[in-house]
Amino acid sequence: MGSAPTMVEQHTSREDILKRFTTIEQLEADTEKLHEMACAVCAETWADRGKKQTPHCKFGEDGVCCRVCSMGPCRITPKASRGICGADEHTIAGRHYLRMATAGAASHSDHAREIAHVLRESSPEGNFKIRDEAKLIRLAKEWNVETEGRDIYDVAHEVADLGLMEFGKPFGTQRFLKRATKERQELWEKEDLAPRAIDREVSTSLHMTHMGNTAEAEALVRQSLKVGLADGYGGSMISTLFSDILFGTPTARSTEGNLGVLEHDMVNLIVHGHDPVFSEMVVLASEEKDLQDLAKKKGAKGINVVGLCCTANEVAMRHGVRMAGNFLQQENVILTGAVEMICVDVQCIFPALGPLTDCYHTKFVTSSPVAKIPRSIYMPFGPDTARENAREIVRMAVDNFENRDLGKVFIPEHKQPASVGYPTEQIIYELDGVTNSHVEERGSYRPAIDSIKSGVLRGAVAIVGCNNPRVRPDFSHIEIMKELIANDILIVATGCAAQAAAKSGLLGKDAKFICGAGLRRVCELVGIPPVLHMGACVDISRMMLLVNEIAGDWGVDVTQLPIVGCAPEWMSEKAVAIANYVVATGIDTYLGIEPQVKGSAQMMELITEGTRKITGAGYIINTDPRELVKSIIDGIERKRAALGI
Ligand code: SF4
Ligand code: MSK
């Protein structure tokens, strides 16, 4: 249980409390100072390249440039309303949108496939073991795998095989669709949105968008929803659940966030990317005594592994590893001059890290054939050799400590305490504590539902996605979160949005002092922060499970819940896949960056209103964060009014 506020806390003004957080201006000042240092060593940053790319190509921004065949490229202009084949702006923008969703679904799902293969290779003596047997057994039973009297690894291998079949099975739809409410399952069936094998939906989407196939915008939007669902209830859900089985289901733990987690007197090793198979091993290797001793022999106090982007989320919530920051912080860590190595696996890795690390002593290690990058050291990483690979990587970082150039070092001091690791199980366990003080009996959604019904909590928002130089980076994340919690709206956060919260201090328990009275009471009763860290991008599948279970317990459809999604600064194709499965689940999704379909009135209508007629939800787009947050609050209040609460 959380503690009541002390007398001091009760009498501290909101202004004083706000001083405990790192402001956007402080974050920007740190970045500016680091960018000045980049200039001094002739290194280029995203800000320099961004200037050279501005203004952006209007055809690309509007989604009306097509190059899917070599008769083109074709652009839609006032004097050319169709491409050479006759495709109009709706077809061109729609095809591009579906291709984005497809690339996103393929990326999450290929990540999942790797993890399924690792589960298949798991063994008691091997590098990868089963850490959450109970979750494995529950999943085995759900999938009708015999568990009685069997070795746990035999069960794991059969579950892994079934998981792998989800990618290519010739018949049937995704197994995890059954985790949605009955209403959703029926709707997906009726609307032909229930995804078949993941690879089938990816292939069909690419087939549909090949020259000379689908030209109807609505059909392209419908397939975007379907391929999105193949990600959300296929690839992402498999990835999340299999990771929990292999590495343990996360639990609440304390850590810190922002560049101040780098240490002057330690070997700083950054893990960046998405796949926990890689980062888990590096973290474990860094704890081995001989490597720690080697670091001391080299003059360091030890090895400081810190995370970046979604890898930060993965290792923070399972090990408490500290988090250096989000997507646009990846160059900043190098610019501190204090990083011996940045090692990466897949997704969201700037190719710029190659030339940038050349300006410093930092070693840049890539590990996956999926993400080979010029001017990196490529060290392939496999399940059989994982421990040796990881030890080699750590040893290389340690050896590099003596090459640090102290004249180039500047570590900004800002860092904030953060509570991380709130998967579905932990959230419901904590929220059940609002009315149930018997720890061992907790596990019901009723108290959470009752808190929303009574208005103590007005609702919940899932804030997800990247940060993006098209807007003021992190500003929207931080300002929207502050405004929502001040209005008694609980936040669950993943990905780089969660990292923005960590950098500012909003994942810390002090954030309760800037909440509305209702949310603050909940936070104090159960000892949670008002922004709950739920994990990486693939863990948005956890959010889908949470809303489906709450809707099921409440006895309403998901569309009726005062729960919405928000991606204020999204940038990646994965975000398009995510937004599609969130909307397909019946959850309104508020976007702060416009999808690149503005040149098609039909597409704009379809993604904001058209999907509502199919799934009951759509996008609400506003590039002004203050207006965006106001529309979120209004949307939640409208849903409450419709429910009569
Ligand atoms: Fe042009 Fe049609 Fe080819 Fe696209 S598919 S490049 S619009 S001819
Ligand atoms: S890492 S997809 S920048 S959230 Fe998942 Fe961050 Fe967006 Fe990559």
Sign of CA dihedral 26, 32, 34, 40: negative
Nearest to 465 by CA among 237, 240, 270, 309: 309
Mean pLDDT of the 111-139 span:
97
Ligand 1 site residues, Cβ closer than 6 angstroms = 66-69, 71-74, 83-85, 87, 92, 211
Given this model, what pLDDT does residue 3 score?
44
Same domain, 304 and 399: yes
Nearest to 46 by CA among 388, 473, 492, 441: 473
What are the tens digits of pLDDT across the range 522-544? Answer: 999 888 999 999 999 999 999 99
| C-alpha R_g of the chain | 24
> Where is 86: in which H helix or E strand?
none
Same domain, 90 and 173: yes
What are the tens digits of pLDDT across the range 334-388? Answer: 999 999 999 999 999 999 999 999 999 999 999 999 999 999 999 999 888 999 9
Same domain, 316 and 399: yes
Average pLDDT of every residue of the chain:
95
**Cα–ligand 2 centroid distance for 432 (angstroms):** 31
Mean pLDDT of the 72-94 span:
98
Peptide bond into 124 cis (omega under 30): no
Given this model, what pLDDT does residue 4 score?
46
User: Nearest ligand to the C-alpha of residue 103?
Assistant: 2
Of 408, 437, 470, the residue that ends a domain is: 408
Residue nearest (by alpha carbon) to ligand 1 atom 7: 83
Q: In whole angstroms, what is the distance from residue 115 CA to residue 274 CA?
A: 11
What are the tens digits of pLDDT across the range 415-465? Answer: 999 999 998 888 888 877 666 666 555 567 888 899 999 999 999 999 999
Mean pLDDT of the 189-206 span:
98
Q: Please provide residue 306's backbone torsions phi and psi, each rounded to the nearest 5 degrees.
A: -130, 155
pTM of the predicted structure, to 2 decimals: 0.96
186 domain residue, yes or no: yes
78 domain residue, yes or no: no
> Where is 152: in which H helix or E strand?
helix 152-168
Q: How far is CA 475 from the centre of its chain?
A: 18
274 domain residue, yes or no: yes
Q: Is the pLDDT of residue 6 over 60?
A: no
Same domain, 108 and 187: yes
Q: Which atom of ligand 1 is nearest to the CA of 212?
A: 5
Same domain, 424 and 531: yes
Same domain, 188 and 278: no
Given this model, what pLDDT does residue 436 score?
64
Q: In whole angstroms, what is the distance from residue 479 CA to residue 24 CA?
A: 9
Domain ranges, residue 216: 86-247
Same domain, 403 and 438: no
Of 197, 226, 247, the residue that ends a domain is: 247
How would residue 322 be classed by pLDDT, with cut points 50, 70 and 90?
very high
636 domain residue, yes or no: yes
Share of residues in the chain with pLDDT > 70 (%):
97
Low-confidence winner among 14-18, 140-144, 277-281 (lowest mean pLDDT): 14-18
User: Nearest ligand to the C-alpha of residue 497?
Assistant: 2
Strand bridging mode 563-567 / 589-591: parallel
Q: What is the CATH number of the domain that holds 202?
A: 1.20.1270.30
40 domain residue, yes or no: no
Same domain, 208 and 266: no
Q: 590 has which bridge partners?
A: 566, 620
Determine the residue type at 398.
V
Q: Are 529 and 508 in contact (CB under 8 A)?
A: yes
**Structural domains of the chain, count:** 3
Q: Are 611 and 218 in contact (CB under 8 A)?
A: no
- 12 against 269, higher pLDDT: 269
Structure tokens at 157: 């291998």
Other CB atoms within 10 Å distance of the CB of residue 150: 13
Determine the residue type at 409.
V
Q: Is the pLDDT of residue 192 over 50?
A: yes
> Where is 95: in which H helix or E strand?
helix 89-121
64 domain residue, yes or no: no
Structure tokens at 268: 């700083």
Low-confidence winner among 10-14, 495-499, 635-639 (lowest mean pLDDT): 10-14
Other CB atoms within 10 Å distance of the CB of residue 251: 14
423, burial (CB in 10 Å: exposed 0-12, middle 13-18, buried 19+): buried
557 domain residue, yes or no: yes
Same domain, 237 and 298: no
Given this model, what pLDDT does residue 1 score?
37
Q: In whole angstroms, what is the distance from residue 52 CA to residue 57 CA?
A: 12
Same domain, 449 and 576: yes
Same domain, 242 and 272: no
Q: Is the CB of 259 under 6 A from ligand 2?
A: no
Q: In whole angstroms, what is the distance from residue 313 CA to residue 308 CA?
A: 8
**Cα–ligand 2 centroid distance for 312 (angstroms):** 11
Q: What is the CATH number of the domain that holds 292?
A: 3.40.50.2030
- Coil, strand, or helix at residue 218? helix
Given this model, what pLDDT does residue 156 score?
98
CA angle at residue 424 from 420 to 427, to 5 degrees? 60
Q: Is the pLDDT of residue 12 over 60?
A: yes
Q: Is the pLDDT of residue 513 over 60?
A: yes
Cα atoms in the Cβ-side hemisphere of radius 13 Å centred on 360: 33
Same domain, 478 and 455: yes
545 domain residue, yes or no: yes
Of 408, 436, 451, the residue that ends a domain is: 408
How would residue 7 be classed by pLDDT, with cut points 50, 70 and 90?
very low
